[in-house]
Amino acid sequence: MDDFVIDKRMPYYEQCYYTIKKMIFNGMLEPGDRLNETQLAKDFNVSKSPVREAIRILEKEGLLVVDHSGVVVFEPTIEDIKEIYQCRMALESFAVRLTTELAQDIELNELEKKLAETEQAILENQDSNTIITLNSHFHSLIVEFSRNHRLRKQIEDIRGLIYYFRVLNFKGDDRARTIVEQHRRIFSLMKDRKAELASKEMVQHLQHDIDHLLEILKSHNENQNSSESNSN
């Protein structure tokens, strides 16, 4: 926490919120890890009150779980993954359809530019956080250009978990290239104004993500069970 510096222009609870969130996304806090309010307050050099408020917000977003035993980083189950991605399939496939039909050429050009930036970042072997953010922007722009504010609000409600799963989804060999190639196929159909096909391609892309995440979860559980067996 040495790099945590209080910025008096931003409320303390917001700074705690963003810092804890970053710790979750960059892997400093892993699924199932337990948080200690007292230690976090000491590390951040603040009282417990802003830490508690930050935890409350992160619990609402689904990134932390609070129960009788304390505060734990959200540890997804198979059902959690399926439910979130079913929501994404419904919302984002419809967003693709709307954007394909309604977006101006300049907006489609912005999507293509974002894809080119992602491909360049991969070629330059930039850090995974940069590439994940670029991929996230591609999806966000599709939702934004759909011109449906209520759809965008529904996506916003699960945005924290969406990004959380994106970070997990990046694990594995050559995942960045695989993902951007799938984005290219979606965009190609959008550019040709083939709304139905582009919508179906988005569903297929998200199904690939589900399959990959389930493999990661299966591998994690197997390794965890193996470690517990060895310790016994």
Digit-coded pLDDT (tens) for 12-35? 999 999 999 999 998 899 889 999
CATH superfamily ID and name for 78-210: GntR ligand-binding domain-like (1.20.120.530)
Position 90 scores a pLDDT of 97
H-helix or E-strand containing 202? helix 195-231
CA distances 21 to 58, 134, 213, Å, are: 8, 18, 20
Architecture of domain 12-73: Orthogonal Bundle (1.10)
Q: Which helix (H) or strand (E) holds 180?
A: helix 175-191
Q: By percentage, how much of the chain surpasses pLDDT 70?
A: 91
Q: What is the pLDDT of residue 34?
A: 95
Q: Does position 230 have pLDDT exceeding 90, yes or no?
A: no
| Residue corresponding to tokens 């979606």 | 186
Where is average pLDDT lowest: 26-40, 128-142, 150-164, 211-225?
Answer: 211-225
Per-residue pLDDT averaged across 152-179, rounded? 91
- Where are the domains positioned within the chain? 12-73, 78-210
pLDDT at 1: 47
The pLDDT mean for the chain works out to: 91
